[in-house]
């Protein structure tokens, strides 16, 4: 890595920041020359212990093999390789498209992996799970076993589709692992027993097991072994079909699992039918929403702030998973095709919001345009605070999100707030999962403008 006038570069790419580091290498957010497009760069930068155990030649060979494997695969749910080169120190690196979101950050998985994570709705679990399995089917057809399926290796695009990445642990079917027998391959809790005991024994069914662990965690917020596998016993929205799916997917013996990815995908698609029936039955017995709060409890902060860490949790009134500590009993009314009024908070909301996702600068420009045009007759539109966006969230552990009337355009989930974490990172809210998080201001979210206009209600 060179440094010229405080500008760091790897090869011809300008480094913006480091996204993370694993055993094999470091991943950076970089800018392409000329076009200025932001992409992800993975540089060979292994842990010293890995080099001591395997030797640098073998580590480099595995790194290059990862790039070659990814370049061979062409599938909409598998990450692409755009470039491969060496830096001035002779270290190999490759370029991938940059995605701001992944399932790990979405569920809030912690470095203390045993901690409870956020729960994703069954519709979304089926949506993401189907894509992951389809991507695996393509890999397996090419004779490649991934061996490290986990939340942080599943990227989420701006179009809400998945991209399987990080093929550093992958191998060609029948290929022998070059490392010593004592070196574990895969991630704790997600890798199946046979892979942890003997990495060379991993096959398609090993990836199937890892996907089942991932889906189970997304549904429950728990890891397998920390909670009953029988979903029907812990949530009336699930029937015995879900129990049978996970009993098969998580079987300790490979021969008892789904034999391949297509078989697992077929079973998952059948769950969608059972889920719809269970949801309809649950909603029929649902009675009313929560009681209202006082005017003071419903009033939300509307001035932008810059906050991080513990201070942010206090200002946003969120728990350790950055979900609301308390929920507002909204009194929503569809005023016009463009306007939703919340009589509880006194806020006017756009029904749909921006037609397309925007970066943070584009979000500000969109608000300026609304006010210039007096959108829906108002010229006091602004970006909402995190607190205001979270006031629209239903409690995720209840049935409101499944049974309540749909007041807002349902396909848009990620929205910018007016709040900042730093000069280059801003807070957003995921409306589907009901949490706030932060990301680089070059990332893309939708905008749902808000206003508080005297006499409008």
pLDDT mean for each 10 residues of the chain (457 residues): 65 92 89 93 91 89 91 94 94 94 94 90 93 97 94 93 90 67 76 90 94 94 78 78 93 96 95 73 49 62 94 96 90 89 92 94 97 94 96 66 70 95 96 93 95 65
The structure tokens listed for 134 are: 């389809």
The pLDDT value given to residue 174: 65
User: In whole angstroms, what is the distance from residue 365 CA to residue 41 CA?
Assistant: 30
Pair type for strands 347-350 and 414-420: unpaired
Q: Are strands 101-102 and 154-156 parallel, antiparallel or unpaired?
A: antiparallel
In CATH terms, 101-284 corresponds, of 1.10.357.10, 1.10.510.10, 1.10.3720.10, 3.40.50.360, to 1.10.510.10
Question: Please, what is the end-to-end C-alpha distance for the chain in angstroms?
Answer: 58
Q: What pLDDT does residue 1 have? A: 52
Does domain 2-97 sit in CATH 3.30.200.20?
A: yes
Angle at 294 between CA 289 and CA 296, to 5 degrees: 130
With tokens 């069954």, the residue in question is 122
User: Which pLDDT belongs to residue 395?
Assistant: 66
- Judged on CB neighbours under 10 Å (0-12, 13-18, 19+), 191 is buried
pLDDT at residue 86, as a whole number? 96
Q: Which own/partner pairs from 371-380 qualify as long-range (CB within 8 Å, at least 24 positions apart)? A: 375/338, 375/350, 375/449, 376/336, 376/338, 376/339, 376/350, 378/348, 378/451, 378/453, 378/456, 380/451, 380/452, 380/453
**Which two three-digit tokens encode residue 351?**
């029904």
User: 3-state class of 224 per DSSP?
Assistant: coil
How buried is residue 109: exposed, middle or buried, by Cβ count under 10 Å (0-12/13-18/19+)?
buried
pLDDT of residue 180: 59
Q: What is the pLDDT of residue 109?
A: 93
pTM of the model: 0.89
266 is catalytic: no
Q: Domain coordinates of the chain in residue numbers?
A: 2-97, 101-284, 295-451
Instruction: Determine the 3-state secondary structure of 453 from DSSP.
Output: coil
* Fold type of domain 295-451: Mannose-Binding Protein A; Chain A (3.10.100)
C-alpha to C-alpha distance for 351 and 238, rounded to whole angstroms: 31
Catalytic residue among 45, 87, 148, 260, which? 148
Nearest-10 Cα torsion for 191, 197, 200, 206: -30
């Amino acid at each position: 890595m060179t440094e010229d006038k405080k500008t760091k570069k790897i090869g011809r790419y300008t480094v913006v920041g480091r996204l993370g580091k694993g055993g094999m290498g470091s991943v950076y957010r970089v800018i392409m020359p000329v076009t200025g497009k932001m992409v992800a760069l993975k540089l060979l930068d292994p842990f010293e212990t890995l080099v001591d155990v395997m030797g640098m030649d073998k580590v480099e060979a595995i790194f290059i093999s990862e790039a070659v494997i990814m370049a061979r695969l062409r599938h909409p749910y598998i990450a692409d390789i755009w470039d491969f080169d060496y830096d001035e120190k002779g270290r190999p690196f490759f370029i991938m498209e940059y995605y701001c979101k992944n399932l790990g950050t979405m569920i809030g998985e912690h470095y203390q992996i045993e901690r409870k994570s956020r729960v994703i709705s069954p519709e979304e679990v089926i949506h993401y799970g189907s894509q992951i399995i389809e991507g695996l089917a393509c890999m397996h057809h090419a004779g490649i076993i991934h061996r490290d399926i986990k939340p942080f290796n599943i990227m989420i695009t701006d179009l809400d589709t998945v991209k399987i990445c990080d093929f550093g642990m992958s191998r060609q079917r029948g290929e022998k692992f070059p490392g010593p027998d004592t070196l574990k391959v895969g991630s704790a809790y997600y890798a199946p027993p046979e892979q942890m005991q003997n990495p060379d024994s991993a096959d398609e069914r090993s990836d199937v097991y890892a996907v089942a662990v991932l889906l189970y965690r997304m549904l429950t917020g728990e890891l397998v072994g920390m909670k009953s596998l029988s979903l029907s016993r812990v949530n009336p929205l699930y029937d015995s079909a879900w129990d049978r799916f996970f009993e098969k997917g998580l079987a300790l013996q490979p021969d008892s699992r789904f034999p391949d990815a297509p078989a697992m995908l077929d079973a998952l698609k059948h769950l969608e039918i059972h889920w719809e029936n269970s949801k309809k039955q649950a909603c029929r017995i649902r009675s009313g929403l929560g009681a209202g709060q006082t005017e003071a409890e419903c009033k939300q902060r509307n001035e932008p702030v810059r906050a991080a860490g513990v201070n942010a949790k206090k200002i946003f009134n969120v728990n350790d998973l950055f979900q609301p500590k308390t929920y507002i009993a909204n009194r929503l009314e569809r005023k016009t095709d463009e306007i939703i009024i919340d009589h509880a908070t006194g806020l006017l909301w756009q029904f749909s919001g921006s037609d397309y996702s925007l970066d943070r600068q584009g979000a500000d420009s969109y608000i300026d345009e609304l006010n210039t045009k007096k959108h829906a007759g108002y010229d006091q539109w602004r970006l909402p605070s995190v607190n205001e966006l979270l006031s629209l969230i239903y409690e995720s552990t209840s049935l409101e999100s499944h049974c309540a009337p749909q007041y807002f355009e349902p396909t848009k989930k990620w929205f910018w707030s007016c709040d900042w974490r730093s000069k280059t990172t801003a807070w957003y809210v995921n409306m589907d999962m009901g949490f706030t998080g932060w990301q680089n201001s070059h990332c893309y979210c939708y905008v749902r403008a808000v206003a508080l206009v005297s006499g409008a209600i």
